[in-house]
């Protein structure tokens, strides 16, 4: 019996871009189709409105860019998973920008991932080199089996200089070995429509976490269409 093809995840991270009107226009103009899992992660305040608009576009899923490490309760300014779970399928945690600018620790990232898992959603846990082993050490095998990992080489984030597919594939293989689980590994860092296929063709890479190329509907549609 032939082995089933691995799922491919294409996750667009909009970061702190777009007004609500611009986000609505993106969804209205998106008409891409794919056999893969395609999701956008808009600014968090837009999630309810995006979920409403995407009822007519089931092939485009939603994710959140972050979540509180704490449960529902007296945590001023935080957004608990209970406030997200009705709208999102995925939650990004531990993005390199969160670690760098907001001093998120490995323990905090793990706590966020567990909030997501306990709510029945899928965390996309971002890791980078040279901190890979210490970042992964905070998780157990049963947790790896319920998450996606996004490998982000710090030199490639927003630089326009992506890692080579060969190096990214080797890092993905290392992550899978460290996790001792068949965890999907995405590549993130200057991904475009021109280079996406070279990454998804790698045997250990299961998709991409995409920043800038996900912001415009034309570039996002082109990128999605390049993944066979």
CATH number of residue 76's parent domain:
3.20.20.70
What is the 3-class SS of the chain, one letter each residue?
CCCCCCCCEEEEECCCCCCHHHHHHHHHHCCCCCCCEEEEECCHHHHHHHHHHHHHCCCEEEEECCCCCCCCCCCCCCCCHHHCCCCCCEEEECCHHHHHHCCCCHHHHHHHHHHHHHCCCEEEEEECCCCHHHHHCCCCHHHHCCCEEEECCHHHCCCCCCCCHHHHHHHHHHHHHHHCCCCCEEEECCCCCCCHHHHHCCCCCCEEEECHHHCCHHHHHHHHHCCC
Number of domains in the chain: 1
- Is 74 within a domain? yes
**Could you tell me if residue 201 is inside a domain?**
yes
Q: Which residue has the higher pLDDT, 129 or 190?
A: 190
In a domain, residue 1? The reply is no
Mean pLDDT of 176-188: 96
> For 108-166, what is each residue's pLDDT tens digit?
999 999 999 999 999 999 999 889 999 999 999 999 999 999 999 977 666 677 889 99
Q: Does residue 179 fall inside a structural domain?
A: yes
Predicted confidence at residue 156, as pLDDT, reads 63
Structural domain range at position 219: 9-225
List active site positions.
Answer: 95, 152
Tell whether 3 is covered by a domain.
Answer: no
Whether the predicted pLDDT of 66 surpasses 90? yes
pTM: 0.95
Residue 82 within a domain: yes
């Amino acid at each position: 019996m032939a082995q089933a093809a691995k799922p491919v995840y294409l996750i667009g991270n909009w970061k702190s871009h777009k007004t609500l009107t611009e986000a609505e226009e993106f969804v209205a103009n998106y008409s891409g189709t794919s056999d893969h899992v395609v999701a956008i992660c808009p600014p968090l305040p837009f999630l309810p409105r995006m979920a409403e608009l995407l009822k007519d576009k089931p092939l485009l899923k939603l994710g959140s860019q972050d979540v509180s490490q704490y449960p529902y309760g007296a945590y001023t300014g935080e957004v608990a998973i209970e406030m997200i779970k009705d709208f999102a399928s995925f939650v990004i945690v531990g993005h390199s920008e969160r670690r760098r600018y907001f001093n998120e620790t490995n323990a905090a990232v793990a706590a966020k991932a567990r909030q997501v898992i306990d709510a029945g959603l899928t965390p996309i846990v971002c890791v980078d080199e040279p901190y890979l082993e210490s970042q992964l050490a905070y998780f157990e095998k049963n947790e790896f089996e319920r998450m996606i990992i996004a490998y982000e080489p710090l030199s490639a984030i927003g630089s326009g200089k992506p890692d080579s597919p060969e190096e990214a594939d080797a890092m993905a293989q290392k992550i899978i070995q460290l996790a001792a689980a068949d965890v999907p590994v995405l590549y993130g860092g200057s991904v475009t429509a021109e280079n996406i296929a070279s990454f998804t063709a790698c045997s250990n890479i299961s998709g991409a976490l995409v920043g800038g190329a996900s912001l415009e509907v034309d570039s996002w549609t082109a990128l999605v269409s390049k993944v066979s």
